[in-house]
Amino acid sequence: MCAGADMGTLHHGGLDRTAEREIIASALRHLRQGNWEVIGWHSPGHSQSMHTMELLAGEGIKYVADWVNDDLPYEVRTVNGDILAMPLTYELSDRKIMVEHDRTMDDYATMVLKAARRLREETIGGARILSLSVSPWIVGYPHRIAAFERILDGLIEQGPFWVAIGREILEAYQSQMPQPIVRA
């Protein structure tokens, strides 16, 4: 997954389409020169213009993790092909809860475990995605790491989870979609 050029290069409505195309192509080129097949994208600061999805699809991106509006993936259609909008639980990021909302690590642990329980109970439409955005410079402090371990232990106690990367979620989603009918 590519996370854009850098946090100083945001995608926005006033950004020239050609400039945005080059920003995207350049960021992907740097990763792909390492022989990696990059098919996922996360824009710096969750930012997008009205052209971002179309430009990403044109560069072979298959999923994005910029949208925080659902806990199930869904397709976004562009003129360059479909992209899967991958759920991102932004409200459960350690930065959002502990830095921006000034909550404790114990508060964070409680929120994550409650969210996991609730998502497990919601079964209509398939399994839900609980993404955890954690930062080593926040949860990795010695005084917080034990609480993070309690989160992981609590998730394990709740029952089986599928731990997956974006590509695996994309493949599972695609395998469940009906195949188009081809008529001769």
Domain that holds residue 48: 17-88
User: pLDDT tens for residues 52-81?
Assistant: 999 999 999 999 998 887 788 889 999 999
**Global pTM?**
0.82
Select the more confidently predicted residue: 122 or 82.
Answer: 82
Look at residue 182 in the predicted model and tell me its pLDDT. Answer: 63
Query: Is the residue at 182 inside a domain?
Result: no
DSSP β-bridge partners for residue 78: 81
Q: Could you give the CA distance from residue 36 to residue 45 in angstroms, rounded to a whole number?
A: 24
User: pLDDT tens for residues 125-176?
Assistant: 677 888 888 888 999 989 999 999 999 999 999 888 888 889 999 999 888 8
Look at residue 150 in the predicted model and tell me its pLDDT. Answer: 92
CA-nearest of 20, 63, 25, 19 to 41 is: 63
Residues 96 and 39 in one domain: no
Residues 119 and 82 in one domain: no
Query: Is the residue at 1 inside a domain?
Result: no
Q: Could you give the CA distance from residue 41 to residue 94 in angstroms, rounded to a whole number?
A: 21
Pairing relationship of beta strands 40-41 and 74-78 according to DSSP bridges: unpaired
